């Protein structure tokens, strides 16, 4: 199912912290770690857990750039 969000990168969950409404998920992508905050309900329904292979999805308008 192609989606208009242009950034889709495969990785593996290394950590997941669950609260009542939100969940904080860490995903290893190559040498980098990406952090994602999603709803607890999505984490439960997708049965996310450490070790899962997932795709990180980010819209291009949400990607800022900085320069040293």
* Binding residues for a copy of itself (CB under 8 A): 1-9, 17, 19-25, 27, 29-32, 34-39, 41-43, 45-46, 48, 52-68
Minimum CB–partner distance for residue 68 and a copy of itself (Å): 6
Q: Sign of the CA dihedral 7, 12, 17, 23?
A: positive
Nearer to a copy of itself, 50 or 68 (CB): 68
Does residue 28 contact residue 14 with C-beta atoms inside 8 Å?
yes
Minimum Å gap between C-beta 12 and a copy of itself is 11
Residue showing tokens 């980098």: 32
Least distance CB 16 / a copy of itself (angstroms): 10
């Amino acid at each position: 199912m192609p989606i208009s969000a242009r950034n889709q990168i495969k990785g593996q969950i290394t950590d997941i912290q669950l609260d009542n409404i939100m969940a904080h998920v860490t995903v290893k992508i190559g040498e980098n770690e990406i952090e994602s905050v999603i709803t607890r309900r999505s984490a439960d329904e997708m049965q996310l857990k450490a070790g899962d292979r997932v795709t990180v999805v980010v819209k291009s308008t949400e990607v800022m750039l900085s320069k040293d």
